[in-house]
Structure 1
Amino acid sequence: MKKLLPIAFRISVIALLAFAVACSESSDPVPAPTPNPTQEDIGVIDSQIEDFLSRYDIPGASLAISKNGKLVYQKAYGLADQAQGKEMELRSQMRVASVSKTFTGVAIMLLVQDGLISLDDQVFGDGAILGKTYGTKAYSNRVKQVTVKNLLQMTTGGWVVNGNRDAIDYQQQMSNTQFFNWMMDNATLNFDPGSQYWYINSNYFVAARVVEKVSGKSFAQFIKERITDPLKMSGTVLGKNGTQGRQANEATYYGQGATKGFEYNFNLERRDGDAGIVTTASDLLRFVTAIDGNPSRPDLLESGIYNQFIQGSSANVGFANGISQFNQVKFFYGALPGTRSGYMFHSNGMAAALIFNGNADYTQTNYNSFASAHDVLMFNLITKNLNVYQDIDQF
């Protein structure tokens, strides 16, 4: 299988070549959001999304925009399923890939807020959070130095195998526990923890296991109880493997180039902590407005804990504990074959969540151009045409 590159971009300056929320284990239909009947189409917004879909040959998208904590615009575009001619709907669910990392980061911060752990706690070895539970070989000094913060800030120095490839892409047939044992015996950390930034998905696989160990609950149950239920995110579920695992309202995914055919051909359920979220645009925006530090809506994190959450490392100040930032903007992006997602919020009170059921091929030139254009689109949505929205709230 072609390597699934993690993607996250820092606006204009840095390109950051950057679960599983289980509100329910069922695949019952998600109730349709009820848009305020006074919402009117906004051409200057719609044209940007429609042009992007046409330019990059993406079947459909779902958008949600908030202003000062109010959901002022939500719209579905294009097709959720091309073969059936099914239109994208507000309740259409889609994978958000690496945007899931923000959920994991917030889960860890909630445990910090509870006083159960510190970001500086060690993860492996005698007296550490996970002790010596996983693997059969003695841990290296680097492994024993890894802290919770190193996992979230991508500064562990690795978890790579076979030519510095992310371990998460290997041994797809293994259960999570089997994979963790294999990873600890076979993956390496190539740098001292804290010394280098290196975007490796396996870090968030481990972080999800930290949540389970400290909370005494499954990762899915913790996310449900502490994030999705309190925020009334009824369209957010745990992604399942293969086409048979699709939710009732989940869109069909369409890869391009070398990613075509791999949309369902990988172990999504392993990716709970780093890429497993399936949600709607409005649900994602509910989450975003609960982690934006803006008093217009209640936040999940207290101010002191929030300040830790958004603190970057000395190796990369723009990548914090599951969230990226640049100047007045905070954001994250996600990518899998047939999926591209992102959220962004600004100190001006604007926030946007945008999910596609298509994605460019991972060839460097094509993908970088596509991802940069997505970045510009998101930035424009929260910094331009700010007076076109009605004073409504559809949350």
Structure 2
Amino acid sequence: MKTLHLFRFVLFVTFSAGLLGGCQDDPGPGAFATVETSSMSDVTPISATGGGTVADAGGSPVSSRGVVWSTQHNPTADLLTKTDDGTGEGGFVSLLTDLVPGTTYYVRAYATNGTGIAYGEEVTFLANEPFTTLDNALMAKMNELSIPAVSLAIVRNERLVYAQSYGYADKEANQVAANADRYRIASLSKPITAIAILKLSETGTLSLDDAVVGANGILGNDFGAPPVGSDKDKITVRHLLNHTSGWINLPDDPMFRAVNLTQAQLISDLLANRPLAYAPGAHDEYLNFGYCVLGRIIEKVTGQSYEAYTKAMLAPMGITDMQIAGNTWEARLPGEVKYYQTEFSPYSMNVARMDAHGGWVASATDLARFMVRIDRGTHVPDIVSSSLQTMYFKDNSWVHSGSLPGTSSLLVRLDNTFSFVVLANTRTEDNYNRILQELYTIVREQILMRGAWPSYDLFEK
């Protein structure tokens, strides 16, 4: 996992299984009609075009047909929000009007015959400003790079102005991607851990210049005493945050070996057996292991598990669905996408052990909620104050990325106005950064090219 430092859809449509033969009245003899729901088009904040096809009239003539929509799943034809688009078999076009901007709607085509009312599959869309160029560009790139699913969230002036998902969260199950889908976010876990540490620093629970291990360290000798003369007792919290502890990923990245070892066993092993390559503070080298240790510091000073403390920190932001990942397909979380990688199984890693450096599962929208609380903007209060003048958080623009087999993730502060999140359920194996760089470039360019922006805030929906 590497941080990409500063280098500086279309249509929200998902499908779920609809009730094909949902009769509203006592059925008469015969068969229900067969009806299909069309995808939505020409979506605006207040209107959209839909429709459907009556493929088979069933046991008697179709006396009415159209679409019905609601803000709840599986709308039925007894609602007032429906169209009446003629009779008989064949295709029809429906106009949905009087929509509320920024609202998600669920739509089903219906057809009535003598047996009752039949429904097509459910289609979901967001009454939103069209982002057709962006949508088309992302979908073309997904096709080029064989990306099954992407979720996107764009923030402008700390308002969520676009949230969209593309492709399939699970291809084999024909599960279309949705904005509520959760992804392993890999190294996007690090900004979350960093903010937790900075918050503890601001409250005086710890100091960034506290030693980490040894007689005077926060962790003391909990994982064994550092060897005399090793300089490991000079490593501070700040060194771990800034990747300047002096450890490097040679002969390997410890977080990706010996998957059966616990975090405590890994820490004990490095303290005892891996010498520092540099004096603490003298050299910057990206180190997942350092953030693993930061997770244990959080546990030591708070008396809570890393996950429990961090979830309590996130909850006031409206973030309640972020969790530490499971390792296997069987241990996946509700609403979690399926990960795809041909070169290495995404389900053979100890992701849970990566907690503080790469173990979180989150949706794009929840990461956008996190971003507006750390972006130094003026509309939404930040979770920490002076600490945001440290590390990359102080920069006008920054990019943090995450990459694991089956996962690519981006958290971007584009400038003082815009930020965005992109999550995907695969990565380009030959060049981990390719998928990240190309998705970043598309979204950045489309944001900078766009003129008018929606005024609503999807965080409030």
Using the size of structure 2 for normalisation, the TM-score is 0.71
Cα distance in 1, alignment partners of residues 242 and 394 from structure 2: 10
Q: CA deviation at 1:368?
A: 4.1
Q: CA deviation at 1:164?
A: 2.8
The code of the aligned residue for 1:300 comes to I
**1:94-109 correspondence to structure 2 within 5 Å:** 94-109=183-198
Cα distance in 2, alignment partners of residues 291 and 95 from structure 1: 21
Cα distance in 1, alignment partners of residues 354 and 293 from structure 2: 10
Q: Deviations over 1:310-338 (max 9, x none)?
A: x3xxxxxxxx4xx595xx31221000001
User: 2:150 aligns to what?
Assistant: 61
Q: Deviations over 1:150-181 (max 9, x none)?
A: 10111112154xx4311111221122222322
**Alpha carbons 1:10, 1:324 under 8 Å: kept:** no
Give the 3 Å change call, closer, same or farther, for CA 70–12 of structure 1 in structure 2.
Answer: closer
Q: Deviations over 1:105-124 (max 9, x none)?
A: 00000101111111111111
Q: CA deviation at 1:217?
A: 1.2
User: 1:146 aligns to what?
Assistant: 235
Q: CA deviation at 1:305?
A: 2.0
Aligned mate of 2:387, from 297, 300, 305: 305
**1:283-322 correspondence to structure 2 within 5 Å:** 283-302=366-385, 304-308=386-390, 311=391, 320=392
The yes-or-no answer on 1:255 pairing with 2:317 is no
Percent identity for Structure 1 against Structure 2: 27
SS in 1 for 2:163: strand
User: 1:353 aligns to what?
Assistant: 421
Give the 3 Å change call, closer, same or farther, for CA 245–92 of structure 1 in structure 2.
Answer: same
Consecutive unaligned residues in structure 1, runs of 5 or more: 1-5, 14-30, 312-319
Q: CA deviation at 1:139?
A: 5.1
User: 1:70 aligns to what?
Assistant: 159
Query: For structure 1, which segment, 237-246 or 334-343, has the greater mean C-alpha deviation from structure 2 after superposition?
Result: 237-246
User: 2:455 aligns to what?
Assistant: 391
Q: CA deviation at 1:140?
A: 4.3
User: 2:353 aligns to what?
Assistant: 270
SS in 1 for 2:173: coil
Cα distance in 2, alignment partners of residues 205 and 34 from structure 1: 40
**1:205-224 correspondence to structure 2 within 5 Å:** 205-224=292-311
Cα distance in 2, alignment partners of residues 11 and 44 from structure 1: 25
Cα distance in 2, alignment partners of residues 324 and 241 from structure 1: 34
Give the 3 Å change call, closer, same or farther, for CA 62–154 of structure 1 in structure 2.
Answer: same
SS in 1 for 2:130: coil
Give the 3 Å change call, closer, same or farther, for CA 382–130 of structure 1 in structure 2.
Answer: farther
Between Structure 1 and Structure 2, the one with more strand by share is 2
Q: CA deviation at 1:300?
A: 0.4
Q: Deviations over 1:9-32 (max 9, x none)?
A: 12448xxxxxxxxxxxxxxxxx99
**Alpha carbons 1:70, 1:394 under 8 Å: kept:** yes
**Alpha carbons 1:124, 1:143 under 8 Å: kept:** yes
**Alpha carbons 2:329, 2:347 under 8 Å: kept:** yes
Query: For structure 1, which segment, 34-43 or 216-225, has the greater mean C-alpha deviation from structure 2 after superposition?
Result: 34-43
Cα distance in 1, alignment partners of residues 198 and 446 from structure 2: 29
**Alpha carbons 2:170, 2:176 under 8 Å: kept:** yes
The yes-or-no answer on 1:52 pairing with 2:159 is no
The yes-or-no answer on 1:111 pairing with 2:200 is yes
The code of the aligned residue for 1:230 comes to P
Give the 3 Å change call, closer, same or farther, for CA 66–247 of structure 1 in structure 2.
Answer: same
Q: Deviations over 1:196-227 (max 9, x none)?
A: 1111110100011111111121111110111x
Cα distance in 2, alignment partners of residues 305 and 66 from structure 1: 22
Using the size of structure 1 for normalisation, the TM-score is 0.83
Give the 3 Å change call, closer, same or farther, for CA 182–359 of structure 1 in structure 2.
Answer: same
The code of the aligned residue for 1:391 comes to S
The yes-or-no answer on 1:185 pairing with 2:268 is no
SS in 2 for 1:141: coil
SS in 1 for 2:458: coil
**Alpha carbons 2:230, 2:276 under 8 Å: kept:** no
The yes-or-no answer on 1:126 pairing with 2:224 is no
Number of residues paired by the alignment? Answer: 348
SS in 2 for 1:77: strand
Consecutive unaligned residues in structure 2, runs of 5 or more: 9-71, 74-101, 106-125
Query: For structure 1, which segment, 368-377 or 95-104, has the greater mean C-alpha deviation from structure 2 after superposition?
Result: 368-377
The code of the aligned residue for 2:335 comes to N
Higher RCO by CA contacts (8 Å cutoff, separation 6 or greater): 1
Q: CA deviation at 1:195?
A: 0.9
**Superposition RMSD on alpha carbons, in Å?**
2.2
User: 2:254 aligns to what?
Assistant: 167
**Alpha carbons 2:103, 2:127 under 8 Å: kept:** no
**Alpha carbons 1:71, 1:394 under 8 Å: kept:** yes
Cα distance in 2, alignment partners of residues 377 and 126 from structure 1: 51
Cα distance in 2, alignment partners of residues 250 and 144 from structure 1: 40
**Alpha carbons 2:219, 2:297 under 8 Å: kept:** yes
The code of the aligned residue for 2:355 comes to D
SS in 2 for 1:244: coil
Cα distance in 2, alignment partners of residues 171 and 55 from structure 1: 35
